[in-house]
Chains A and B, each alone.
Chain A
Amino acid sequence: MAVSSLSKPILKVENLAMYFPLKKKLGSRERKYVKAVDDISFEVQEGETFGLVGESGCGKTTTGKCILRALDPTDGKVYYKGRDIAKIPIKSIKPIRRELQLIFQDPYGSLDPRQSVYSILKEAIVSDHKFHTRKEINNRVEELLNLVELDPDIGYRYPHEMSGGQRQRLGIARALACSPHLLVCDEPVSALDVSIQAQIINLFKELQKKLGTTYVYIAHDLAVVRHIANRIGVMYLGKLVEVMDSEDIYDNPRHPYTKALISAVPTTDYYIEKKRERIILKGEVPSPINAPSGCPFHPRCVYATGICKKEMPNFKDIGKGHMVACHNL
C-alpha cells in the first residue's frame, strides 16, 4: 500500500553525514576518517514503515542513531516534524526524544538483568511524567503488556526467566511506554528463531495499525524488510544507492548492487529458485576508511565505466519516487 503523497513527512534527512575520526599515525599530518554515513537524504512519511537495508558496516545503524540524536552528526540536517534536531542543544532534545524510541537487536543486552519486568516498564512510564499514582502506573504496565501480547503475570519475572521472543516483546513494550511517534527498530528480529520471528513481525504490523506509529526499520534480511516496509532504502558503504517502493525491490531493482543483493537471497519458492538469475559479486566490501573514489560500488560493479571512478552519481528520480544513484541507467 502506498502512502498518499499528501501526508507530511514526519522525518526528513538531508545530506546527513557522520564521520568518525581515527587516531593519527605517528608522523602523519593528515587525519583520517571512517565515513560511516556520507551525504544521504531521504524522507519518511507519517504512518509508514521505511526500511533501511545493507550489509554490515554500511552505516545503517549509524543513520538510525543520528536520527535519534544518539550521535551528533558531522554534517547535514534531520528534520523531525519540520524542526531540525541535528544541531539544537542537547537540553532541548529531551522532550522530543520521548517521541523517538529505539528497539535493539539483542533484547537481552538491552534489558537490565537485575530489574523485574514491572520495574523496567515502570521506569519508562515514570520518565514520561504522564502517570503519577501507583494505580495509574499499574494500569499502564498492564496495558502495555497486553499490547505486546504478554501475560500480565509476567511482571514479577526477570529477563533471564524469559524466552528470546518474550524479551523482544518486552523491549517493544518499553519503547511504547512513552507513546512514541517514530520508532527506530535496529535488527529487531535477527536474533530470534524463524517461527518466533514471524510472531514479532506480525506484532509490529498490528501495533502500527492500532497506534499509527511510524517505523524506521533497519535490517540486513531483505525478505523481512520487503515484507514489513512500504519503502526501502538500500545502503552501500555509507551511501544510499537506491530508494524505492517495497513492491519494486524484487520486480524492478535498478541499481546493480540492489540487483546483486536480491539475487544473493535464496527463496523457498522451489520452482522460482531453480530458475533465478544469479549475480555473484567479486571481492568484498572495501573499508570505509579508504572508500573508493566516485561511486563506492564501482570496483565490484560489472557495468562500471570511466565516469564511475571519478564522480559520485546523483540521486535521480526515475518515476514514482523511485530514486537511484547510478550513472548507467
Chain B
Amino acid sequence: MGNRLLEVNNLKLSFFTVSGEVKAVDDISYHVDEQEVIAIVGESGCGKSVSQMTVMQLIQMPPGKILGGEVLYKGKDLLKYGPRSNEMRMIRGAEISMIFQEPMTSLNPVFTVGDQLREIIMVHKKVSKKEAWDLGIQALKSVEIPDAETRMKNYPFEMSGGMRQRVLIAMSVACDSKLIIADEPTTALDVTTQAQVTDLLMSLVKKMKTSLVIVTHNLGLVTRYAERIYVMYAGKFVESGTTEDLITNPKHPYTAGLLSSVPKITGEKQEKLKPIEGFPPSLIDLPPHCAFLPRCPYATDECAYGPYPPMRIVGDNNHMCACYNCIGGQ
C-alpha cells in the first residue's frame, strides 16, 4: 500500500429543486492510495457519478450545494479552494482528470483533436505551441492510436467511439495525471473495444504510476480490474472491501442481490435469476431508516425503527457494511 492520495470524509451534497431536496451524495467517506485502482459500483441514479463530480467540483451551484465534508488531495482540502479558484483549475484536468462515458460529448466537435490536446497541455505545462503539439502526438502514440500525426488533424466525428475514448485517455496521459476518475469509461463501447480500452487504461495506470477510480454499474468489469470496491445505494455507501472479499463474500443484502441478478458467462447455467424485487427509491424524501428496506429480504423491525445503520467493520481487510443484519451474521 502506498501513501494516501485522496481522502474523502463525510461528503454531503444535495440539489435543491422545486420538488424538494435531492440528497444525491449523503455522507460518504472513501480513500484512494497511490497507484491503487478502486471502483464505485451502483445503479443509475444512486449518486455515483455526482459524488465524483463533487470531488472535481464540477457541480453547478445552485441547484447543487455541498452540505459538509472534506476532500483531501495530498492532504489539502480541495473544497476550501472553491470551484473557480486558480488552485482548483490547476488540479482539475491535470493532477486529477476525468474520463466520461460518452466521449463525443466531452470533446468539442468544432475543434480538431490536436487543438484540444494542445490547449490542455498549454494550460497545464509551460511549453510553446510547437512543443505542446509534439507532446500531443506522443500522448496519442502512447494510447496506441496509429498514425498519430494525421489523427491530430482529425475532428472528433471522424473517429470511432473507441478512438475518441483513447483521445480522452491521452489527455490525462499528456498532463501526467496522478488520479484518473473514469466514469463508465466503456459503457458506450462494443464488447471487444471495451476490453481493448480498459486493458490500455490499466497498462497506462501501471506505467505512469497513476491511481484510478472506476465508476460503473458493471460488476464483471470491477471484478476484473479493481482492487477495492465501494457499493453505493441511494446516495450512501452500503458496503466496501477488497474485491475478493466483497465479490466472493458479500455482506450487504443489496450487494448480494446485485451479484445474483447478473447472469454469468462462466460456470453452470442458472435456471432462474434472483432479481431484487421492487425498484430503487427516489432521492427526494428519503426515509430516516435504511433506504433498501422495502426491497430487502432480510429486513427486521430494527431496520424499520432504528436510525440509518452506520458503516461498521464486519470482516478482515477492513470489510465494511452498513446493515443491521449482515449476511453471515456479525
Per the bound structure, the CA–CA distance linking A272 and B264 in Å amounts to 11
**A residues within 8 A CB of B259?**
268
Q: Which residues of A contact B277 (CB under 8 A)?
A: 199
CB of A169, distance to nearest CB on chain B (Å): 12
Pick from A197, A263, A276: contact of B261, CB under 8 Å: A197
A267 touching B220 in the complex, CB below 8 Å, given contacts A197-B261, A281-B192, A284-B162: yes
* Nearest A residue (CB) for B277: A199
B263 contacts A194, CB within 8 Å? no
Residues of chain B within 8 A (CB-CB) of A14 are none
Question: Is B269 within 8 A of A227, CB to CB?
Answer: yes
A164 to chain B, nearest CB (A): 9
Q: A265 near B: Cβ within 8 Å?
A: yes
Q: Is A291 an interface residue (CB 8 A)?
A: no
In angstroms, Cα B223 to Cα A276, docked, is 12
Q: Which one of A39-47, A134-142, A218-226 is at the B interface?
A: A218-226
Contact with B along A264-301 (1 / 0, CB 8 A): 11111111110010101100110000000000000000
- Name the residue of chain A whose CB is nearest to the CB of B279: A163
B188 nearest CB across to chain A (Å): 10
Complex CA–CA separation, A224 to B273 (angstroms): 10
Number of B residues near A (Cβ < 8 Å) is 43
Q: Is the CB of A268 within 8 A of B217?
A: no
Q: Which of A195, A260, A281 has the most CB of B within 10 A?
A: A195
With known contacts A202-B275, A226-B263, A194–B194 Cβ distance under 8 A:
no
Q: Which residues of A contact B261 (CB under 8 A)?
A: 194-195, 197-198
A195 touches B191 (CB 8 A): no
Q: Which residues of A contact B267 (CB under 8 A)?
A: 267, 269, 272
Residues of B near A280 (CB, < 8 A) are 195-196, 199
A195 contacts B43, CB within 8 Å?
yes
- Using known A-B contacts A220-B190, A226-B269, determine if residue A268 contacts B264 with beta carbons closer than 8 Å: yes
Q: Are A194 and B219 in contact (CB under 8 A)?
A: yes
Please state if A273 and B224 are interface contacts (CB–CB under 8 Å): yes
* A247 proximal to B (CB < 8 A): yes
Q: Does A196 contact B (CB under 8 A)?
A: yes
Q: Is A303 an interface residue (CB 8 A)?
A: no
| A202 CA to B273 CA, complexed, in Å | 7
Contact A198 B262 (CB under 8 A): yes
Q: Is the interface of A mostly helix, strand, loop or mixed?
A: helix
CB-CB < 8 A to A272: which residues of B? 266-267
Which residues on the B side are within 8 Å of A278 (C-beta)?
195, 199
List the A side residues contacting B194 at CB < 8 Å: 264
Q: Determine whether A76 belongs to the interface, using a CB cutoff of 8 Å to chain B.
A: no
CB distance A226 to B162 under 8 Å?
no
Q: Which residue of A lies closest to B267 (CB)?
A: A269
A262 at the interface (CB under 8 A from B): yes
B243 at the interface (CB under 8 A from A): yes
**A222-B191 contact, Cβ under 8 Å, with A195-B276, A266-B218, A273-B224:** yes
B141-156 residues at the A interface, CB under 8 angstroms: none
Given contacts A195-B275, A265-B220, A284-B160, contact A270 B265 (CB under 8 A): no
The chain B residue with its CB closest to the CB of A222 is B265
Contact A220 B191 (CB under 8 A): yes
B218 CB contacts on chain A under 8 angstroms? 266
Per-position 1/0 for B241-273, Cβ under 8 A of A: 001100110000000011101111111011011
A224 touching B263, Cβ below 8 Å = yes
Chain B CB within 8 A of A261 CB: yes
Q: Contact at A226–B265, with CB atoms within 8 Å?
A: yes
Decide if A10 is an interface residue (CB 8 Å cutoff).
no
Among B195, B243, B262, contact of A194 (Cβ-Cβ < 8 Å):
B262
Q: Is the CB of B275 within 8 A of A260?
A: no
Which of B248, B257, B272 is in CB contact (< 8 Å) with A195? B257
Given A194-B217, A266-B220, A284-B160: A199 touches B275 (CB 8 Å cut-off): yes
Chain B contacts with A in 182-196, Cβ cutoff 8 A: 190-196
Q: How far is the CA of A249 from the CA of B273 in the complex (A)?
A: 19
The proximity string for B residues 196-216 relative to A, scoring 1 for CB distances below 8 Å and 0 otherwise, is: 100100000000000000000
A202 to B266, CA, bound (A): 19
Q: Which residues of B sit under 8 angstroms from A198, Cβ to Cβ?
A: 261-263, 273-276
The B-contacting residues of A in range 149-199, CB under 8 angstroms, are 163, 165, 193-199
* Cβ of A55 under 8 Å from chain B: yes
**C-alpha gap A197/B263 in the complex (Å):** 10
Chain A residue nearest to B254 in the complex (CB): A195
- Distance of A228 Cα from B191 Cα, bound (Å): 19
Closest residue to B218 on the A side, CB-wise? A266
What residues make up the interface of B, taking CB atoms closer than 8 Å to A? 43-44, 160, 162, 190-196, 199, 217-221, 223-224, 243-244, 247-248, 257-259, 261-267, 269-270, 272-277, 279-280
Interface contacts beyond A193-B44, A284-B160: sample of 7 additional A-B pairs, CB < 8 Å, sorted by A: A55-B193, A194-B219, A223-B263, A267-B264, A267-B267, A273-B223, A285-B190
Closest 8 CB pairs of A and B: A266-B220, A198-B275, A198-B261, A227-B263, A264-B195, A55-B190, A266-B224, A195-B276
